Amino acid sequence: MAVTGVVGAGVMGIGVAQDFAAAGHEVVLVDKDERILEEARAAITRNCRLSRLMGGPALDADEILARITTAVGLAALDKTEILVENVTEDWDIKAAVHAELDEVCGPDTVIIANTSAVPITRIASVGKNPGRVIGVHFMNPVPQKPVVELIPGFHTTPETILRTRELLTSIGKRWVDVKDASGFVSNRVLMLTVNEAAYLVHEGVATAESVDEVFRGCFGHPMGPLETADLIGVDTILYSVEVLYEHYADSKYRPCPLLKQMTDAGLHGRKSGRGFYTYS
């Protein structure tokens, strides 16, 4: 199999790298700091050990980690044939990463943007070859979610689409074809729900526990919207809502002040140990 690059060793990047390696891909996982990469390897070990308990397959952590090479900086991706970018939804950061990827990667490298809200055509406009850029919105946790959104940009070529579909098939993912629009399908709906649920807590209408119990108990959802926010990351939720608000200029996407305060306070959910709930 071709060497697959993964940019960003946060929650999503870890899941993507693990999924590719479990399917037999050789993976190069990069980030800006060696400490982040060390934490990522430890997280993959934990995820593999917990997989069976969470209803997933038995995974050999040593075997999976043996297929993952970690490196600081994007220069290590120069030999990859296809890669997945998973950096934060902050446009300035994402644009800078894609500008560098455009210089580092070979002309035939397919660049997949794993974004929850930023339009793919906007991302592709940063580089000289927008035809090789495509969006794939992986769901969290990546190894447990069998379906993704597949989003071609305005210039994405048929070859790029074909190669991306082949990659997804190789890791057992199905895809839903979605046109390029901020938030796509999933987050154009989900982020509104989470944002409004945060407003209920912010306005004192209900506690986070009560909001989530309504969705679990009344609607049969496995998780409430604020539990989901903690799983995704409260900061990621905020950035995604801000992208929607900027793109559509519609007041229905106004970010809840509580999300801003929690993000500033470092209450980012599961990954920080505290969000709408506290985690041990």
Q: Are 155 and 162 in contact (CB under 8 A)?
A: no
247 carries an active-site annotation: no
Which whole-number Å values give the CA distances from 91 to 135, 177, 231, 240, in the listed order?
15, 24, 22, 10
Q: What is the pTM of this model?
A: 0.90
Residues 105-115 have a mean pLDDT of 96
Domain boundaries, the chain: 4-177, 186-272
Exposed e or buried b per residue across 197-213, where buried means at least 16 C-beta atoms within 10 angstroms of its C-beta: bbbbbeeeeeebeebbe
Homologous superfamily, domain 186-272: N-(1-d-carboxylethyl)-l-norvaline Dehydrogenase; domain 2 (1.10.1040.10)
Q: What percent of the chain has pLDDT over 70?
A: 100
What confidence tens digit (pLDDT) does each residue in 72-104 have?
Answer: 999 999 999 999 999 998 999 999 999 999 999
Domain 4-177 has CATH 3.40.50.720: yes
| From 25, 137, 202, 268, active-site residue | 137
pLDDT at residue 166 greater than cutoff 80:
yes
pLDDT at residue 55 greater than cutoff 90:
no
What confidence tens digit (pLDDT) does each residue in 127-154 have?
Answer: 999 999 999 999 988 999 999 999 999 9
**Cα separation, 274 vs 76, whole angstroms:** 34
What confidence tens digit (pLDDT) does each residue in 227-270 have?
Answer: 999 999 999 999 999 999 999 999 999 999 999 999 999 999 99
**Would you give the end-to-end CA distance of the chain in angstroms?**
39
